[in-house]
A and B are shown apart, each in its own frame.
Chain A
Amino acid sequence: MDGWLEVHDSTEQTINRLLETLLTSGVVDGLLVPLRTPDGRNAVPTLVRDPALLERAAPLAPVLPVNGATVLGRITATGAPGRVGAVLRNCELRTAVELSKVQQVLLDDVLLIGMDCLGAYGVEDYARLVEEGLDAVTPALMAAREGGVEPLPGYAFRPACTMCERPIPGVGESYAPHIAIGLLGVPNDERLWVSLRDEELGEALGLEPAEEPAGRIEAVRALVAARTAERDRRFAAFHERVHDASSLLAEFATCILCQNCMRVCPICYCKECIFRTDVFDHPSARYWDWAARKGGVRLPSDTLLFHVTRMLHMAHACVGCGMCSDACPSGIPVADIFRTVGRAVQARFGYVPGRDPAEEMVIATFREDELRELGER
């Protein structure tokens, strides 16, 4: 069911009131939603049970300190005692879909709430703009009314956001959440465009049924086109930079093998990465063997093996959330790399991460009648 939700006060307050309704009416028993930290310099996913706390809810704050699906896993995977409403950006929603396929998130008792993602800043940038007394939300909503998505002057969105071609929940190859809140191409200071999975909720929320306005459809199309172009530009730039062994080594030359990219990557769901297990706990003599064979060995060893293995393990399901790039202390565009590689793997199997929880992961299945050219002379 699609329709309009009247805005009273501000857009953000309207959304917060909607969340409050869900919680107080018992539709959900808890809410996973970003709350402004007491100092206001960050907005962090919080499991909220007391409706009073929703006063600090910041569903529109353009910052992404952690991937919300990872924490959604924490509060659902081993069985949630109640139903949780999860407010997620679209990349987080994709992540939740992927993680549900590997039992890291349990979607059974989750009410998914998505909204048009108007881009996010890095945590440092966001804190800085708050310190400078800037309001990041109002100008973004204003621009969105006209169909535009622009960062504040002097600031830039996270690179992953600039190349995210699936920012709108339920649109294109995005999984439709239970509640999708539209901000783009609609008068979002007067009313919000809401899509619901089931009718009943519409009545509870006081939704006024309507046809999707043409202006919104056009704005979404234009945004997706612009993002796709930026994505392809970044793919091409990567290929321009990296095309052989030495340029690949150069790409990772500044890597300090801190493994942050793996730790923050939601798709690297392993309890402990293989690179942190006994498998890579080499006896000293092994290093000497390598040094003897190759003349020398870079230490810590296996930098490139770490990255390539990570690609082999998870690039097929990379959702493009960009957490890895955010976390890299050396400024390596990890997400650009993983998205480029991931895209090729996904395309080979027609797999779209985050599209549908029922879609089997590339490595979880096979077909007898595929890839016939492989293995033959």
Chain B
Amino acid sequence: MTDFEPRIVAFLCNWCTYTASDLAGTSRIQYPPNVRIIRLMCSGQLDPIYVAKAVLEGADGVLIGGCHPGDCHYQSGNYKARRRVAIIHQVLEQLGFDPDRVWLRWISASEGQYFADTVTEMVAALKEKGPSPFRRQWSV
């Protein structure tokens, strides 16, 4: 699996984790190029169907980034996202799909380094796991 490069779809809250990813860029903090970012206004805007879609279309990992508990720009969106992620994990697990390919992380706007570290860590973890079983699967 040495030349396997995981592909991560990241759903990031505009106010925190997306800003953190910007900050990582502005600060030239390097992280692996395996992540593709989709900006949401709030982690609470994450419709579970987006995650299902990413998983079934063959994303090796899905990263969801929101504001730390208590810091949601919209008061409580992150708590709602957290519940949704818990549901997603349960459903995926029951269907025999490794739920640990879907990560939720609280990363504030100032945590550029933490964002980069998270991507690095996730890429390493996914390399361990190998490609998603749905990669290039035509019959989903």
Given the known A-B contacts A308-B52, A309-B52, A375-B66, are A366 and B82 also in contact in the complex, defined by CB atoms under 8 Å? yes
A341 at the interface (CB under 8 A from B): yes
Q: Output the least CB separation between A274 and chain B (Å).
A: 7
Given the known A-B contacts A341-B90, A374-B86, are A312 and B79 also in contact in the complex, defined by CB atoms under 8 Å? no
CA of A345 to CA of B82 in the docked complex: distance in angstroms?
Answer: 13
Contact B93 A344 (CB under 8 A): yes
The residues of B that contact A315 with a CB separation of less than 8 Å are 91
Contact A348 B136 (CB under 8 A): no
Q: Output the least CB separation between A126 and chain B (Å).
A: 32
CA of A270 to CA of B48 in the docked complex: distance in angstroms?
Answer: 16
Most buried by A among B58, B69, B94: B94
Number of contacting residues on B, CB 8 A?
41
> Which residues of A line the B interface, CB within 8 A?
239, 242-249, 274, 291, 293-298, 302-305, 308-309, 311-313, 315-316, 340-341, 344-345, 348-349, 362-363, 366-368, 370-372, 374-377
Most buried by B among A303, A308, A315: A308
The residues of A that contact B70 with a CB separation of less than 8 Å are 368
> Which residues of B line the A interface, CB within 8 A?
48-49, 52-53, 55-56, 58, 66, 68-70, 76, 78-80, 82-88, 90-91, 93-97, 104-106, 118, 121, 133-134, 136-140
**Inter-chain CB contacts under 8 Å: number:** 117
The residues of B that contact A363 with a CB separation of less than 8 Å are 83-84, 87
Residue of A nearest to B44 (CB): A366
Q: Output the least CB separation between B98 and chain A (Å).
A: 9
Most buried by A among B58, B91, B106: B91
